[in-house]
Chains A and B, each alone.
Chain A
């Protein structure tokens, strides 16, 4: 191990004190190096579901979109809702990684890789819904054939925006990965197997000459900062343009100026929720408890409810204003959604993604990891349902003055739309594809951003030492329920004044699962304001 450490030291550069961090690196590389017993069964089941979706799509191609329950009234339904929902959940990566990076929220570090990976896999899956959405998928090439382009079309700009966002997501996944690649390469060194060889080729091709030199690091940091800033307006633009596809009509419920904001907030909201779920699953499955702590979830939970509250507010204003106006079609649409035929899904959204997360975070007993994960799971599902409520009612609404409230030509619970096995299978397949792709992805890349965490750790260590020297205060007691078995790295923002931030250092660099409940302040509020000195256990 000594030569290993030496090579690590060489890579991290000379200006940073080098300490052995075997534990972090081992944990981060464990999914790559070891195959858990559940891996193959899980991949098989997920793969089978994906195959089912592909079969369903083949049936749809053969028989036409009619088998998906569409008709001339319900011309847009589940695929369009899925397109919005799946691209939406990719926003979690942008938030956790980019926004928290720009705001220098140090605690985000262990979460970024998983969040970025979630974005990386959900975005292409969401984009793939263009294919079943199209009536003539064999002509999809026309979208990239400039002579056919109609630049006044929102859909074309959807395509542009999502493609650009995909590129940015790939770049944003790749850049922070670069310094980890030599570390990972050292770990797969000398191992046998096709996958190990593939890993070596991959690491070499993508980051083989990374040495952690100061010039390299400057370049990389600049690039990450630039892309982190770029990706936020791009994320906003993607869902704005998606909403334009709906809003570029005269339909009540689509023609809304609130729609772009509504879509963007919904995407951020569901994105954070999915990141929470993904992180919880990864933490459990890959044993990341030492690095991803309950308080991470609680902090994400606060972001979650903040976005959820904004979304609830937007929903309220939308329906209030439209319903209040008394304009026949708007009033009828609001009536249908709120108390009419769509009331069950609407109120399901209201409870599951509106009220429950707020309550979970408001009540101290449920403001826990379990509470946040449960709430996020609900939000992911409920926001998908909400997208159905956004997409389907205005589409199925008859436009030649029909008394919607009295029944009109709408028939069932979803208007004229009928859910059939085909779109449900395809939706399930896409849902299964996300964990499947994540499982595969983490067979090749370290699940934790090793370099970033190590740098953060070093920084915090310095701060902690400074605290120790200047104050000489021992660690305050941490309520066990809030700081279950975790050392205190990555907890506080480096922005805070050093003296207020940290308890005396735990044995940094040697965090052990189930170690002593040491550490910095725990989540006392959204993003943990810098107010509580010495650990802030006293709220």
Chain B
């Protein structure tokens, strides 16, 4: 299990002294401790990482973002809204899908339980913005999802008459073949009796 959390700092973020980590845990039915390392950049504060998991009955990825840092106090770390998103690989440009958000507790930890709908390597992003919408902190991590929630929308339509139709076609074909056999037989028999002409040449 590989999980990488990376700290991406901006100048503003640094000035705020915020740090954010994303911790990924998973998955279905089992708590799998995940330990990842986070690197702080520049003047950012130190990071702590914690592995979490859930007992959820559906495949889950637990995203845990921890704000930390020198300049921050527990008072400022609490109540910060962290949004979580994932990069969608199947579309060019890997647009980010907003998963949801969590609010940090007094320890500066925001949790989000994500039920992945596709498997494979996924890039998660946690970000914090200020009141004006400006990004103040962001962190990404990569995680290989091995089990996904079965899709709910792609049930194929079925027709109750599909099987029936097959037999109808079979019967009709049999009738068709029979008709041809009868007609050709009639033609051949009559022609054999009437048309063959050995003696009565004109």
Contact = CB atoms under 8 A, between A and B. Distances in A.
- Contact between A and B in the complex (any CB pair below 8 Å): yes
Interface of A: 151-152, 157, 160, 164, 167-168, 171, 174-175, 178-179, 181-182, 185, 188-189, 200, 203-210, 215-216, 219-220, 223, 226-227, 230, 234
Given A175-B190, A204-B202, A160 B176 contact: yes
Contact of B194 (A157, A171, A210): A210
B130 to A, nearest CB: 47
A171 B183 CA distance: 7
Contacts of A188: 202
Nearest to B169: A151
A209 B193 contact: yes
Given A152-B165, A209-B195, A226-B182, A204 B190 contact: no
Contacts of B94: none
B190 to A, nearest CB: 5
Contacts of B191: 206
Contacts of B195: 178, 205-210
A243 B187 CA distance: 30
A219 B193 contact: yes
Given A151-B169, A206-B195, A226-B182, A174 B202 contact: no
Interface in B20-72: none
Q: Chain B at the A interface: mostly helix, strand, loop or mixed?
A: helix
Given A178-B190, A206-B194, A168 B183 contact: yes
Interface of B: 165, 169, 172-173, 176, 179-180, 182-184, 186-187, 189-191, 193-202
A335 B169 CA distance: 37
A17 to B, nearest CB: 23
A184 B195 CA distance: 14
Contacts of B179: 164, 168, 230, 234
Main secondary structure of the interface of A (DSSP, over half): helix
B200 A209 contact: yes
A358 to B, nearest CB: 36
Nearest to B173: A151
B176 A164 contact: yes
B78 to A, nearest CB: 55
A347 to B, nearest CB: 39
B194 A209 contact: yes
Given A164-B179, A164-B180, A200-B202, A208 B196 contact: yes
B172 A209 contact: no
A164 B181 CA distance: 11
Contacts of B189: 219, 223
A216 B194 contact: yes
A218 to B, nearest CB: 10
Given A174-B187, A178-B190, A189-B202, A205 B197 contact: yes
A185 B194 contact: no
Nearest to A212: B194
Nearest to A206: B195
A208 B200 contact: yes
Contacts of A208: 194-197, 200-201
Contacts of B196: 208-209
A234 B186 CA distance: 16
A152 B199 CA distance: 51
A198 to B, nearest CB: 12
Contacts of B165: 152
A159 B179 CA distance: 15
A10 to B, nearest CB: 11
A220 B190 contact: yes
A185 B190 contact: no
Contacts of A219: 189-190, 193
Q: Nearest 7 CB-CB pairs, A to B? A: A208-B197, A210-B194, A178-B194, A204-B197, A223-B186, A207-B194, A151-B169
A257 B180 CA distance: 28
B186 A226 contact: yes
Contact of A175 (B184, B186, B197): B186
Contacts of A209: 193-200
A106 B12 CA distance: 107
22 contacts: A151-B169, A152-B165, A167-B183, A167-B184, A171-B186, A175-B186, A178-B190, A179-B194, A185-B200, A185-B202, A200-B202, A203-B202, A204-B202, A205-B195, A206-B195, A209-B195, A210-B193, A210-B195, A220-B194, A223-B190, A227-B186, A230-B179
Contacts of B187: 171, 174
Contacts of A223: 186, 189-190
Given A168-B183, A209-B200, A220-B190, 6 more contacts: A152-B169, A167-B180, A167-B183, A174-B187, A216-B194, A226-B186
A168 B178 CA distance: 13
B57 to A, nearest CB: 42
Name the residue in B176, B183, B191 with the highest tally of chain A Cβ atoms < 10 Å from its Cβ. B183
A217 to B, nearest CB: 10
Nearest to A216: B193
A175 B187 CA distance: 8
Contacts of A178: 190, 194-195
A171 B172 CA distance: 22
A157 B197 contact: no
A200 B197 CA distance: 12
A230 B193 contact: no
A189 B201 CA distance: 10
A167 B169 CA distance: 21
Residue among B172, B176, B200, B202 facing the most chain A CB atoms (10 A cut-off): B202
A403 B176 CA distance: 44
Contacts of B186: 171, 175, 223, 226-227
Nearest to A199: B202
Given A160-B176, A164-B180, A226-B182, A174 B190 contact: yes
Contacts of B197: 204-205, 208-209
B190 A230 contact: no
Contacts of B183: 164, 167-168, 171, 227, 230
A215 B172 CA distance: 34
B177 to A, nearest CB: 10
Contacts of A164: 176, 179-180, 183
Nearest to B190: A223
Chain A CB within 10 Å, residue with most, of B187, B198, B201: B187
A203 B182 CA distance: 24
With most chain A CB atoms within 10 A of its CB, the pick from B179, B184, B190, B198 is B190
Contacts of A206: 191, 194-195
A203 B200 CA distance: 11
Contacts of B202: 185, 188-189, 200, 203-204
